[in-house]
Amino acid sequence: MAEEIEVIVVGSGAGGGMVAHTLTAAGVNVLLLEAGRRWDPAKDAAMFQLPKEAPLRGETTPDKNENYFDANIGGFEMPGQPYTNGKDPFRWWRSRQLGGRTHHFGRQTPRYGPEDFKVKTMTGREVDWPFTYEELEPYYDRVETIMGIFGPDADEAVYNSPLSPNHIRQKPPAPRASEMLFQKALKKMGIKTMAHPTAILTSPLNGRDPCFYATNCIRGCSIGAAFDSVTAYIKPAEKTGKLKIQTHAVAYQVLTDETGKKATGLRYIDTQTGDHKEIKGKVIVLAPGAMESSRILLNSKSDKAPNGLANSTGMVGKYISDTLFTSLWIHVPELDYAPPHNEDGVSQPHVYAPWWLHGEEKKKDDADFSSGYKIEVDPYRGGRFGPPTMNATFRIMLHGTKGLYGKKLKDHMRRYYGSLIGIRTLGGMSVNENCYLTIDPEVKDKWGIPVPKFYWEWSDEDYRRGEHMNKTLHELARNMGATVIYDAFEKSRKAGKIMEVGGEVNHQVGGCRMGDDPKTSVLNKYSRTWDVDNLYIADGAPFVTHVEKNPTLTIMAMAMRAADNIIDRLKGDDL
């Protein structure tokens, strides 16, 4: 870079991409470090290929944990980059490409509500965030304006599930057959549904085309209809001439001056050569993912920071969390022998039920836990990861196909294809001190960097929430006239009071929580570390509590707020 590097940003996903976009638009010189390679959905997304056109017929490889068609490079397991666990397992999802996880995620982007930032005030449990919904609201508006979002009309609004303003919110796709049955059954239960706020275009925006309902968004979107960081943030940032991108760069240590209170740069691995390199900058922003940010700080030890950088409180790595998940496979006879019909839409539910119990209603319902949960249904035949196939139908009903072949087998499949669907709940988690990460003293990755060790324990409150979620799903199934085929929660419970493995839902946040008190938090309300004046964290690590809403939109709103704070301080010569 001809000019001085003012800000170094680690990670190019939701948070890092947003920071780079905001800073460069304000004329700030930014160096973006990305651990993986360049990845452009316009060129690299396997959006339309059939399995026969894919390497290994699209099967899973070490490079792509899910399969060839998943836009994510990496996943839960990466060769030469291990992690370890304490007593109970935790799974750590990683992405290694420009844009990070934003190519893989479902694009569900609801706002946190006013109650979600004041859990302690509302329930007497956990802690409050250091700011209110009203303080973050203008950042939600700004992010959605750039990102693009569809959502419900104002008359569909549900308490504590705020909507985007009319001039931002695009029209949602219409509900499909299974979703209309879902809505009808929930109405009997007194539970309100609405269109799910989702970062997919139904109208053109900033040169991006609207979705034409082709394939699953997790394949990546070559036309830019489904939001990703590369399309919406990084490409516009590059056009300013203020952004330089260094790929294949795994950051592992923040450098400081002799006082330990000012960051001066970063150490990273050039993964193509294996060389250890250093880069200097005026401001450092970590946004490689919540767990990785904690790992970097804990590995940034020095005489001034013997327990890790920004860790004078011992809070770095503490209070990590993930979304709680339960599901049922059900058979809905009303959908037997479903004729071909219009199933156009995005690869996520068009409608859902936000959490409906608050205050006195919650007490009356004996919902003895802090945050709630939302309810969803498979959007179309064959499951949520379309395009629709009969694979799921055949797999779930395999026991019924024994001895069937020819015409009888075909009739069996015609009956159940479309009438077997999934219903699920995604819930908050009661953040607790028994979920944390440290640095493993014995295990290192292939470059010699100590790896994280995860400790995980669901709380009794989480089990109560899980029971409530499961009970609601069974009631929903009855109201849909359905028979339960498979109950994942019940199976896990019989195995020994175990729900899903921590991290499985891939909504991992926390580890560097923010707060008003430097004695009980790692960051202030602008995502700056208390201990190091020019070090910010702009991924999911600052989260204080974990509610039922997907975290990505809130990550981006807080990242934009952090970037604004950096801009103000640079202008005021405060950095």
Is 487 found in the same domain as 437? Answer: no
Residue range 356-393, pLDDT digits in tens: 999 889 989 989 999 999 999 987 665 444 444 455 55
Is 436 found in the same domain as 376? Answer: no
Is 112 found in the same domain as 75? Answer: yes
Q: Which residue has the tokens 């449990």?
A: 125
Short-list 345, 371, 481, 358, CA closest to 425 = 371
Listed in sequence order, the residues at least 6 apart from 123 whose beta carbon sits closer than 8 Å to its beta carbon are 370
161 within a domain of the structure (yes/no): no
Is 408 found in the same domain as 465? Answer: yes
77 within a domain of the structure (yes/no): yes
52 within a domain of the structure (yes/no): no
Per-residue 3-state assignment (H helix, E strand, C coil) for 104-122: CCCCECCCCCHHHHCHHHH
Question: CA 103, CA 301: separation in Å to the nearest integer?
Answer: 33
Residue range 59-89, pLDDT digits in tens: 888 888 888 888 999 999 999 999 999 988 9
Determine the pLDDT at residue 386: 46
Short-list 363, 356, 348, 393, CA closest to 472 = 356
Last residue of a domain, one of 442, 477, 498: 498
Crossing angle for the helix pair 133-147 and 552-571, to the nearest 10 degrees: 100
Determine the pLDDT at residue 497: 66
Residue 6, domain CATH? 3.50.50.60
Is 333 found in the same domain as 238? Answer: no
Containing structural domain, residue 419: 176-195+324-427+459-498
162 within a domain of the structure (yes/no): no
CA distances to 34, 103, 141, 339, 553 from 111, rounded to whole Å, are 27, 20, 10, 37, 7
Is 398 found in the same domain as 259? Answer: no
Determine the pLDDT at residue 434: 96
Number of domain units in the chain: 2
Is 241 found in the same domain as 291? Answer: yes
Is 367 found in the same domain as 306? Answer: no
CB 230 within 8 A of CB 34: no
Question: CA 467, CA 342: separation in Å to the nearest integer?
Answer: 36
Last residue of a domain, one of 440, 469, 498: 498
CA distances to 133, 137, 201, 308 from 554, rounded to whole Å, are 10, 10, 19, 27
Consecutive 10-residue averages of pLDDT for the chain (575 residues)? 78 98 98 97 89 80 82 93 94 96 94 96 94 98 97 88 94 93 97 97 96 89 96 98 98 96 97 96 98 98 96 98 93 89 87 95 92 89 49 54 78 82 94 97 97 96 94 97 87 68 94 97 98 98 97 98 98 89
Determine the pLDDT at residue 495: 60
Is 378 found in the same domain as 439? Answer: no
Residue 251, beta-bridge partner list: 268
Coil, helix or strand at residue 178: helix
Determine the pLDDT at residue 395: 57
Is 93 found in the same domain as 32? Answer: yes
Is 437 found in the same domain as 295? Answer: yes
Listed in sequence order, the residues at least 6 apart from 192 whose beta carbon sits closer than 8 Å to its beta carbon are 156, 158, 186, 353, 354, 356
159 within a domain of the structure (yes/no): no
Coil, helix or strand at residue 276: strand
271 within a domain of the structure (yes/no): yes
Is 534 found in the same domain as 412? Answer: no
Determine the pLDDT at residue 378: 85
